């Protein structure tokens, strides 16, 4: 039994805020774009496969088109050569969008402290969640997805999302 | 014998290698690399030496040829007209060392990006000096000459559709970029660009001790990390002239074959996904996760195991390993059966894979393709049979060969090789000897803690090994094992210290990928995708 307006609508109607309804729906239907470049990409396959089953979190529709995705999972080492490609993909994604940096290489360059490896993708694009490990266990990736779900509850259609992020490839 | 088999003058490269190829039967070019001797303790005739590694047509013997490059010109003759494989091999040497090859049709960088200045593997290039790349190449500089060589004129170029496939494309498995010119659905010309996962493996090796490199080898072919561990440790052990214990050999065989199993599982599963058979992926991947659980119980890691040590292994088998292993094998057998029941007599599958992406045997050898891709073309080259190590000659298993060299053959060869691997594992577990897993050698293994805290020799030994690493005798050495993708070789140069002077990995799929463009030209784009998946290109391996 509701109060106020709800009392007149019966039990089949729930009133809520538009933002909350959208966020609730969105957080359980993340569309990840798996940017798998290396070993972590293989471990991301395990996350998607039967045992760990990413679809329990509503995020199994792995798209390879940035236009259809709202969660970018960077799984693997990003070299300086790959960086412009990553940047372009990030730019092509529609707002609201999030980034998980999976594994040591994506987060900090890992133990590839050398001339060819980008020392963390946050030099190029903003990162929401870092996952430690080389490669991280699938549970850790699922944990990061859950944290992104929590973050997505802060969204609002009237919120200005443009960040003032400036990476090394931003002119 | 830690030196090159032949030392020749730079002017004789072409004549010598052509003589070896035509008269002495060295018909397979394995690898070309260079060494920068500028910080080497011995005096050398010049700064750079180029190394060529060849193998005979019966695959039993390999040969390393070394030549010093003139310091003033930094030029040697290209051998691209003798071996197709030399094309990419020489490009890599040019990219990393700046040695130019006279007569090479397309001498440009292959691993580092086009805005890169300098040559990173030279000793005077600082390891941490990264260089930012702001945009990718358009590759037209390679495409236009290629089209012209196929008889197209400037005016025809308007009619072709230029299409970029990758590097971020679901079918390119991460980091391969193909730039294709198409007439309708047919690919007329294809240019492959790699290097998007070049992580500086060789430069990192020069800055770490021999034991510290083991984790780096895990991440070469990350689908079968332990096979790389074994290949690398075997090379170092051979240089040290250390014979590991029988139990260690047997355990290495078991985990090596298990890794081969997981490698083939990933390849076939991904291949079926690209064909649209997603069900296969779910079926075959489940036992693979079980194998991972076994690995993490044994080594502490699921994927990047770092299990071997120079002179032995990190851990002995745990109690109950045998039951767990049998469990995994049973699951894999079931999964193979399930998967085959879906595709073996499936008309759609046959139409999509048979006669698609055919690799002819002679071309495969010319291009330096080894492993399953070569065996599927009907050439029975398997180092476990042709140059056996660790007692592989005592096992009863077959070399699986195909008849046609198409995608179908490659998939089926992998399935059958999984069965052969399981056969080997079961035999090895039956014959598992007891005893130590590590050689007792104070210069290789840390002493027991009692000695470290109890007497000065033990303490010194611990200190020296920890700080200086394992001292490997001075010289150059090439050793090869059968990796997941073919001949996985390590060419190690030592200056006598605990850090390698240079490590060159001979990545099997680098050469497969070098030939890929020629294989798919004339096929449809959809078939090119399937061909790519069936050849098992692992970015960590070909880009290193």
Percent of chain A with pLDDT over 90: 18
- The predicted structure's pLDDT at residue B23: 86
Cβ of residue A108 closer than 8 Å to a chain B Cβ: no
Query: What is the H or E stretch that residue A22 is in?
Result: helix A18-27
B192/B405 Cα distance (integer angstroms): 21
Q: Which of B416, B372, B411 is nearest to B508 (CA)?
A: B372
B31/B508 Cα distance (integer angstroms): 10
- The predicted structure's pLDDT at residue B128: 86
- The predicted structure's pLDDT at residue A1: 55
C-alpha distance from A28 to closest chain B C-alpha (Å): 23
Cβ burial of B232 (10 Å; 0-12, 13-18, 19+) is buried
Phi/psi at B432 (nearest 5 deg)? Answer: -55, 115
- The predicted structure's pLDDT at residue A140: 92
B159/B147 Cα distance (integer angstroms): 12
* Residue B1 CA: distances (Å) to CA of B40, B261, B476, B506: 19, 35, 9, 20
Cβ of residue A112 closer than 8 Å to a chain B Cβ: yes
Phi/psi at B268 (nearest 5 deg)? Answer: -65, -40
B91/B125 Cα distance (integer angstroms): 19
Residue with tokens 């850090």: B499
For residue A162, name the pLDDT band (cuts at 50, 70, 90): low
Cβ of residue A45 closer than 8 Å to a chain B Cβ: yes
Q: Spell out which residues of chain B touch residue A134, defining contact as CB-CB under 8 Å.
A: 304
- The predicted structure's pLDDT at residue B491: 92
Enumerate residues 6+ apart whose C-beta is below 8 A from B132.
Answer: A80, A83, A168, A169, B115
- The predicted structure's pLDDT at residue A39: 87
**Chain B residues 215-274 with CB within 8 Å of chain A:** 215-216, 219, 222-223, 266
A56/B65 Cα distance (integer angstroms): 57
CB B189 within 8 A of CB B146: yes
B146/B166 Cα distance (integer angstroms): 20
Cβ of residue A127 closer than 8 Å to a chain B Cβ: no
Q: Are the Cβ atoms of A80 and B130 closer than 8 angstroms?
A: yes
- Cβ contacts from A onto B, under 8 A: 133
Residue B92 tokens, joined: 């890599």
CB B227 within 8 A of CB B508: no
How much is the mean pLDDT over chain A? 86
- Among A43, A76, A80, select the one facing B113 at the smallest CB separation: A80
pLDDT in tens, A75-113: 989 999 999 999 989 988 888 889 999 999 999 988 888
Long-range contact pairs involving B274-277 (C-beta distance under 8 Å, separation at least 24): B274/B171, B274/B529, B274/B530, B274/B532, B274/B533, B275/B349, B275/B352, B275/B353, B275/B530, B275/B533, B277/B342, B277/B343, B277/B349
3-state secondary structure of A72: strand
Enumerate residues 6+ apart whose C-beta is below 8 A from A111.
Answer: A104, A134, B204, B215, B216
Query: What is the H or E stretch that residue B218 is in?
Result: helix B214-218
B539/B175 Cα distance (integer angstroms): 6
C-alpha distance from B270 to closest chain A C-alpha (Å): 10
CB B265 within 8 A of CB B289: no
Q: Are the Cβ atoms of A115 and B203 closer than 8 angstroms?
A: yes
Which of B174, B220, B285 is the best substitution to test chain A (most A C-beta atoms within 10 A)?
Answer: B174
B57/B30 Cα distance (integer angstroms): 12
Maximum CA extent, chain A: 68
- Among A37, A42, A50, select the one facing B197 at the smallest CB separation: A37
Q: Are the Cβ atoms of B198 and A116 closer than 8 angstroms?
A: yes
Q: Which of B175, B527, B90 is nearest to A116 (CA)?
A: B175
B345/B115 Cα distance (integer angstroms): 50
Q: Where are the alpha helices (DSSP H) in B61-124?
A: 86-97
Q: Which of A46, A113, A91 is nearest to B266 (CA)?
A: A46
- The predicted structure's pLDDT at residue B330: 92
B200/A113 Cα distance (integer angstroms): 9
* Stated pTM of the model: 0.90
CA B486 to chain centre: 7
Q: In what order do the strands lie in the sheet with B502-506?
A: B475-482, B487-494, B502-506
Cβ of residue B23 closer than 8 Å to a chain A Cβ: no
B224/B490 Cα distance (integer angstroms): 16
Low-confidence ranges of chain B (pLDDT < 50): none
**Chain B residues 265-294 with CB within 8 Å of chain A:** 266, 281-282, 285-286, 288-289, 292
- Among A39, A51, A84, select the one facing B304 at the smallest CB separation: A39
Enumerate residues 6+ apart whose C-beta is below 8 A from B370.
Answer: B28, B381, B485, B486, B487, B508, B511
Q: Are the Cβ atoms of A42 and B219 closer than 8 angstroms?
A: no
pLDDT above 80: residue A2:
no
- Among A50, A79, A84, select the one facing B198 at the smallest CB separation: A79
Helices B278-299 and B246-275, axial angle in degrees (round to 10): 160
B-chain residue closest to A39, CA distance: B222
A161/A158 Cα distance (integer angstroms): 9
B286/B293 Cα distance (integer angstroms): 11
Residue B10 tokens, joined: 């730079």
Phi/psi at B252 (nearest 5 deg)? Answer: -60, -35
Q: Are the Cβ atoms of A42 and B222 closer than 8 angstroms?
A: yes
pLDDT in tens, B270-285: 888 888 888 888 888 8
Reply yes or no: is the peptide bond before residue A96 cis, omega within 30 of 0. Answer: yes
Q: Spell out which residues of chain B touch residue A113, defining contact as CB-CB under 8 Å.
A: 127-128
Enumerate residues 6+ apart whose C-beta is below 8 A from B188.
Answer: B147, B150, B152, B160, B181, B182, B521, B522
Q: Where are the alpha helices (DSSP H) in B344-406?
A: 347-353, 361-366, 372-375, 383-386
CB atoms within 10 A of CB A47: 28
Q: Are the Cβ atoms of B289 and A46 closer than 8 angstroms?
A: yes
B54/B366 Cα distance (integer angstroms): 12
- The predicted structure's pLDDT at residue B436: 86
Query: What is the H or E stretch that residue B269 is in?
Result: helix B246-275
pLDDT in tens, B177-190: 889 998 888 999 99
B15/B59 Cα distance (integer angstroms): 22
Q: Are the Cβ atoms of B200 and A64 closer than 8 angstroms?
A: no
C-alpha distance from B292 to closest chain A C-alpha (Å): 10
For residue A142, name the pLDDT band (cuts at 50, 70, 90): very high
C-alpha distance from B50 to closest chain A C-alpha (Å): 23
């Amino acid at each position: 039994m509701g109060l106020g307006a709800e009392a007149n609508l019966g039990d089949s109607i729930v009133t809520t805020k538009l933002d909350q309804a959208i966020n609730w729906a969105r957080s359980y239907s993340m569309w990840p774009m798996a940017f798998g470049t290396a070993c972590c990409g293989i471990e991301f396959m395990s996350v998607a496969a039967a045992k760990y089953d990413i679809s329990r979190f509503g995020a199994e529709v792995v798209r390879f088109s940035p236009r259809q995705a709202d969660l970018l999972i960077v799984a693997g080492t990003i070299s300086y050569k790959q960086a412009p490609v990553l940047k372009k993909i990030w730019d092509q994604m529609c707002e609201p969008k999030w980034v998980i940096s999976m594994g040591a290489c994506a987060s900090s360059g890992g133990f590839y402290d050398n001339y060819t490896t980008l020392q963390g993708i946050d030099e190029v694009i903003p990162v929401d969640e870092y996952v430690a490990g080389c490669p991280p266990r699938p549970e850790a990736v699922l944990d990061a997805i859950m944290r992104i779900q929590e973050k997505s509850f802060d969204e609002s259609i009237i919120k200005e999302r443009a960040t003032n992020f400036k990476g090394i490839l931003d002119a | 014998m830690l030196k090159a088999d032949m030392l020749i003058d730079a002017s004789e490269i072409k004549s010598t290698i052509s003589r070896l190829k035509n008269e002495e039967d060295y018909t397979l070019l394995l690898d070309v690399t260079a060494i920068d001797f500028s910080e080497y303790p011995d005096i050398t005739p010049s700064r750079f030496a180029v190394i060529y590694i060849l193998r005979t047509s019966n695959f039993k013997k390999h040969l390393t040829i070394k030549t010093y490059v003139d310091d003033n010109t930094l030029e040697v003759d290209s051998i691209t007209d003798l071996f197709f494989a030399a094309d990419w091999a020489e490009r890599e040497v040019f990219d990393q060392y700046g040695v130019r090859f006279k007569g090479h049709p397309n001498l440009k960088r292959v691993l580092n990006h086009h805005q890169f200045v300098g040559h990173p593997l030279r000793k005077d290039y600082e390891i941490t000096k990264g260089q930012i790349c702001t945009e990718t190449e358009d590759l037209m500089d390679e495409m236009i000459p290629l089209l012209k060589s196929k008889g197209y004129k400037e005016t025809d170029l308007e009619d072709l559709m230029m299409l970029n496939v990758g590097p971020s494309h679901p079918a390119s498995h991460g980091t391969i970029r193909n730039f294709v010119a198409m007439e309708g659905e047919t690919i007329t010309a294809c240019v492959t660009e790699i290097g998007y996962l070049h992580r500086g493996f060789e430069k990192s090796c020069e800055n770490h001790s021999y034991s510290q490199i083991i984790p780096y080898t895990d991440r070469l072919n990350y689908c079968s990390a332990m096979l790389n561990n074994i290949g690398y440790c075997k090379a170092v052990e051979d240089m040290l002239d250390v014979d590991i214990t029988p139990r260690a050999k047997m355990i290495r065989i078991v985990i090596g074959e298990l890794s081969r199993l997981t490698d083939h599982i990933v390849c076939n599963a991904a291949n079926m996904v690209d064909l649209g058979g997603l069900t296969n992926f779910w079926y075959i991947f489940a036992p693979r996760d079980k194998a991972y659980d076994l690995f993490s119980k044994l080594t502490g890691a699921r994927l990047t195991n770092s299990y071997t040590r120079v002179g032995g292994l990190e851990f002995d088998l745990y109690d109950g390993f045998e039951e767990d292993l049998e469990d995994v094998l049973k699951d894999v057998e079931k999964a193979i059966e399930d998967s085959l029941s879906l595709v073996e007599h499936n008309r759609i599958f046959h139409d999509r894979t048979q006669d698609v992406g055919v690799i002819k045997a002679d071309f495969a050898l010319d291009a330096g393709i080894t492993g399953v891709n070569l065996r599927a073309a009907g050439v029975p080259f398997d180092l476990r049979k042709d140059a056996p190590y660790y007692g592989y000659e005592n096992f009863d298993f077959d070399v699986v060969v195909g008849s046609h060299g198409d995608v179908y053959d490659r998939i089926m060869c992998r399935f059958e090789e999984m069965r052969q691997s399981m056969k080997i594992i079961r035999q090895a577990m039956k014959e598992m000897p007891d005893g130590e897993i590590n050689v007792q050698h104070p210069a290789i293994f840390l002493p027991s803690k009692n000695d470290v805290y109890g007497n000065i020799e033990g303490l010194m030994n611990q200190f020296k090994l920890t700080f200086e690493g394992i001292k490997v005798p001075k010289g150059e050495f090439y050793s090869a094992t059968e990796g997941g993708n073919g001949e996985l070789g390590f060419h190690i140069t030592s200056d006598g210290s605990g850090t390698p002077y240079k490590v060159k990995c001979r990545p099997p799929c680098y050469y497969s990928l070098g030939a890929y463009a020629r294989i798919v030209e004339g096929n449809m784009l959809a078939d090119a995708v399937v061909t790519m998946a069936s050849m098992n290109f692992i970015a960590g391996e070909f880009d290193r």
